[in-house]
């Protein structure tokens, strides 16, 4: 059985205006590599100690039924495990959205921001699912040491944009990169049509 990820999200972490918690990192055309090329990352935590997030548009071939069969009836389509990042790929992380303006956390859920939270995958789904509206399960996560993400952003490796609740649970992850860019204002929207192979431009 796949072990669960225990990402250290500090209680009452002070997030300053330049930090990206709750935002999307959209890979710029200069970002290369099998993992992060044209990726869209939801930042779960970003402070002076580093950052953690999950890649939203890397569905894997493995179905939920092959890893966590008791959750397969509850995940948002497509019903596959997603690659959350290159760190701890042998572990699982459950991301959920909680509808409404709940003040108290549902049982088994750790709320992070804007109704987005992490679910304890050891709790029976029937306990959790009546309280949530979406679920996606990731293998691994993306992690940056102190100052590393800030340096990558400054070097032009990422666009930092506002997230929408639907981004984490899109039914069309293969088009998420271009979808997020197209809804941006100004010249950034034009990047969505940047060719997959720049030599073909």
Question: Tokens at residue 143, please?
Answer: 């992690």
Q: Is residue 1 part of a domain?
A: no
For position 33, what pLDDT does the model report?
A: 86
Is the pTM of the predicted complex or chain greater than 0.75?
Answer: yes
The domain that contains 77 carries what CATH number?
Answer: 3.40.1740.10
From first to last of its 201 residues, the chain has per-residue pLDDT tens of: 455 554 544 443 333 336 899 999 999 998 888 899 999 999 999 999 999 999 999 999 999 998 899 999 999 999 999 999 999 999 999 999 998 776 678 899 999 998 999 999 999 999 999 999 999 999 999 999 999 999 999 999 999 999 998 999 999 999 999 999 999 988 888 998 877 655 444
For residue 87, list its beta bridge partners.
141
For position 34, what pLDDT does the model report?
A: 87
Tally of domains in the chain: 1
Which helix H or strand E contains 152, and what residues bound it? Answer: helix 148-154
For position 14, what pLDDT does the model report?
A: 36
Q: Is residue 120 part of a domain?
A: yes
Task: Note down the domain range covering 63.
Answer: 24-200
For residue 52, list its beta bridge partners.
45, 143
Q: Is residue 117 part of a domain?
A: yes
For position 120, what pLDDT does the model report?
A: 95
DSSP 40-55: EEEEEEEETTEEEEEE
For position 16, what pLDDT does the model report?
A: 34
Contacts for 56-62: CB closer than 8 Å, 24+ residues apart: 56/24, 56/82, 56/167, 56/168, 56/170, 56/173, 56/176, 57/170, 57/173, 57/174, 57/176, 57/177, 58/82, 58/83, 58/84, 58/173, 59/83, 59/173, 59/174, 60/139, 62/139
Q: Is residue 18 part of a domain?
A: no
For position 47, what pLDDT does the model report?
A: 92
For position 151, what pLDDT does the model report?
A: 93
Q: Is residue 174 part of a domain?
A: yes
């Amino acid at each position: 059985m796949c072990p669960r990820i225990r990402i250290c999200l500090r209680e009452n972490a002070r997030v300053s205006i330049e930090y990206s918690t709750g935002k999307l990192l959209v890979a710029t055309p200069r970002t290369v590599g099998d993992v992060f090329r044209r990726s869209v990352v939801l930042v779960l935590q970003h402070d002076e100690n580093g950052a953690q997030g999950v890649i939203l548009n890397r569905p894997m071939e493995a179905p939920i039924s092959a890893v966590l069969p008791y959750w397969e009836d509850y995940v948002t389509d497509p019903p596959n495990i997603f690659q959350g990042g290159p760190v701890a790929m042998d572990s699982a992380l459950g991301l959920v959205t909680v509808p409404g303006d709940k003040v108290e956390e549902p049982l088994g859920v750790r709320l992070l921001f804007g109704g987005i939270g992490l679910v304890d995958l050891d709790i029976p789904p029937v306990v959790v699912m009546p309280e949530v509206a979406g679920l996606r399960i990731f293998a691994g996560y993306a992690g940056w040491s102190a100052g590393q993400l800030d340096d990558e952003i400054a070097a032009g490796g990422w666009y930092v944009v506002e997230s929408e609740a639907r981004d984490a649970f899109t039914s069309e992850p293969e088009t998420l990169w271009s979808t997020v860019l197209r809804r941006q204002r100004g010249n950034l929207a034009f990047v969505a049509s940047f060719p997959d192979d720049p030599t073909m431009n």
